[in-house]
Amino acid sequence: MSAPPRLALAGIVKRYPGVLANDRVSLEVAPGEIHGLIGENGAGKSTLVKIIYGAVIPDEGEVRWEGRSVRIQTPSQARRLGINLVFQHFMLFDTLTVAENVALSLGSSADRGRIARDVSLFGERYGLPLDPLRPVHTLSVGERQRVEIIRCLLQRPRLLIMDEPTSVLTPQAVERLFGTLRQLAAEGVSILYISHKLEEVRTLCSRVTVLRGGRVSGVCDPREASVADLSRMMIGAELPAAASHAKLAGEPLLVVRDLSVPARSHTGVSLHGVNLQVRAGEILGIAGVSGNGQNELLSLVAGEDRRASAGSVFVGGDDVSSIGVAGRRTRGLAFVPEERLGRGAVPEMGLGLNTLLTHDERSNPGLVRHGLISTSGVTELAERILRQFGVRAAGPRATARSLSGGNLQKFIIGRELSKAPRVLVVAQPTWGVDVGAASQIRREIAKLASEGAAVLVVSEELDELLELCDTLQVMAGGSLSEPMPARNANVERIGVMMGSNPVQASNAAA
Partner 1 sequence: MEQLAPLIAATLAAGTPLLLAAMGLLINERAGVLNLGAEGIMLMAAVAGFAGGYHSGSMLAGLAMAALVGAITALVFGVLAVGLATNQYATGLAVALGGAGLSAFFGLPYVGKSVPFNTTFEVPWLADLPFVGVAFFKLHPLVYFALLLTAATAWFLARTHAGLVLRAVGESPESAYAIGFPVRTIRLAAVAWGGACCGLAGAYLSLVYTPLWVEGMVAGRGWIALALTTFATWRPWRIVLGAYLFGSVTMVQFALQSEGVDIASQLLAMLPYLATIVVLALISRNPAFIRINMPASLGKTFHP
Partner 2 sequence: MPRLEPRAEASQAMRFAAPLVALLVTAGITACLMFGFGRDPVDGMRVFFVVPLESARGLAEIGLKMTPLLLCALGLALCYRANIWNIGAEGQLLAGSIAATGMALSIGPGNSHVAGLLVVIAGAAGGALWAGLTALLRDRWNANEILVSLMLTYVAQLMVLYLVNGPWRDPAGMNFPVTRMFDAAASVGAIVPPYRLNWGFVVALVAAAFGWVFLFRSRIGYRLQVSGNAPLAARFAGFSEREGIWVSLLICGTLAGLAGAFEVAGPLGQLTAQVSTGYGFAAIIVAWLGRLTPLGCVLASFVMSLIVIGGELSQSRLGLPGAITMVLQGVLLLALLSADTFVNYRIRWR
- Which among partner 1, partner 2, none contacts residue 306 (Cβ within 5 to 8 A by kind)? none
- Which among partner 2, partner 1, none contacts residue 74 (Cβ within 5 to 8 A by kind)? partner 1
> Can you say whether the dihedral through the CA atoms of 101, 104, 105, 110 is positive or negative?
positive
Among the listed ranges 96-104, 228-236, 249-257, 369-377, the one in contact with partner 2 (CB under 8 A) is 369-377
20 lines the binding site for partner 2 (CB under 8 A): no
List of residues 6+ apart from 411 with CB closer than 8 A = 345, 351, 354, 385, 386, 389, 391, 393, 400, 403
Q: Which is nearer to partner 1, 2 or 265 (CB)?
A: 265
237 lines the binding site for partner 2 (CB under 8 A): no
Site for partner 2 in 387-426 (CB under 8 A): 399, 402
Residue 490 burial (10 A CB sphere; 0-12, 13-18, 19+): exposed
Least distance to partner 2 from the beta carbon of 346, Å? 5
Q: Which parts of 6-93 are beta strand (E)?
A: 7-16, 19-29, 34-39, 60-65, 68-70, 83-86
How many residues sit in the footprint of partner 2 (CB under 8 A)?
32
Show the site string, 411-450: x = touches partner 1 by CB under 8 A, - = not.
----------------------------------------
- Which among partner 1, partner 2, none contacts residue 399 (Cβ within 5 to 8 A by kind)? partner 2
401 lines the binding site for partner 1 (CB under 8 A): no
138 lines the binding site for partner 1 (CB under 8 A): no
The closest alpha carbon to 180, from 199, 162, 207, belongs to 162
Among 41, 312, 358, 430, binds partner 2 (CB under 8 A): 358
- Which among partner 1, partner 2, none contacts residue 141 (Cβ within 5 to 8 A by kind)? none
The closest alpha carbon to 360, from 282, 419, 307, belongs to 419
Least distance to partner 1 from the beta carbon of 324, Å? 20
Given a contact cutoff of 8 angstroms between Cβ atoms, the answer to whether 269 and 456 are in contact is no
Least distance to partner 1 from the beta carbon of 215, Å? 27
108 lines the binding site for partner 1 (CB under 8 A): yes
Site for partner 2 in 41-80 (CB under 8 A): 57
- Which among partner 1, partner 2, none contacts residue 348 (Cβ within 5 to 8 A by kind)? partner 2
3-state secondary structure of 94: coil
Q: Which is nearer to partner 2, 182 or 343 (CB)?
A: 343
10 lines the binding site for partner 1 (CB under 8 A): no
- Which among partner 1, partner 2, none contacts residue 325 (Cβ within 5 to 8 A by kind)? partner 2
What's the rounded Cα separation, in Å, for the pair 46 and 53?
10
The closest alpha carbon to 182, from 198, 163, 206, belongs to 206
What's the rounded Cα separation, in Å, for the pair 201 and 39?
11
265 lines the binding site for partner 1 (CB under 8 A): yes
Among 335, 389, 411, 431, binds partner 2 (CB under 8 A): 335
Q: Which is nearer to partner 2, 432 or 477 (CB)?
A: 432
Among the listed ranges 71-79, 189-197, 324-332, 415-423, the one in contact with partner 1 (CB under 8 A) is 71-79
Among 114, 264, 387, 392, binds partner 1 (CB under 8 A): 264
Q: In angstroms, what is the C-alpha Rg of the chain?
A: 24
Given a contact cutoff of 8 angstroms between Cβ atoms, the answer to whether 94 and 267 are in contact is yes
93 lines the binding site for partner 1 (CB under 8 A): yes
Tell me, what DSSP letter sits at residue 334? E
For 445, list phi and psi in degrees, rounded to 5.
-65, -45
Q: Do β-strands 283-287 and 471-476 pair in parallel, antiparallel, or remain unpaired?
A: parallel
Site for partner 2 in 275-334 (CB under 8 A): 302-304, 324-326, 329
87 lines the binding site for partner 1 (CB under 8 A): yes
Edge-first strand order for the sheet with 68-70 is 19-29, 7-16, 60-65, 68-70
Q: Please name every residue paired with 279 in a beta bridge, in sequence order, or none if there are none.
A: 252
List of residues 6+ apart from 246 with CB closer than 8 A = 281, 450
Show the site string, 148-167: x = touches partner 2 by CB under 8 A, - = not.
--------------------
149 lines the binding site for partner 1 (CB under 8 A): no
100 lines the binding site for partner 1 (CB under 8 A): yes
Show the site string, 50-69: x = touches partner 1 by CB under 8 A, - = not.
-----x--------------
104 lines the binding site for partner 1 (CB under 8 A): yes
Given a contact cutoff of 8 angstroms between Cβ atoms, the answer to whether 284 and 489 are in contact is no
Q: How far is CA 14 from CA 36, 46, 79, 130, 218, in A?
A: 21, 12, 22, 39, 19
266 lines the binding site for partner 1 (CB under 8 A): yes
Residue 22 burial (10 A CB sphere; 0-12, 13-18, 19+): buried
Among 11, 67, 342, 366, binds partner 2 (CB under 8 A): 342
Q: Footprint of partner 2 on this chain (CB under 8 A)?
A: 16-18, 57, 302-304, 324-326, 329, 335, 337, 339, 342-349, 353, 356-358, 368, 371-373, 399, 402
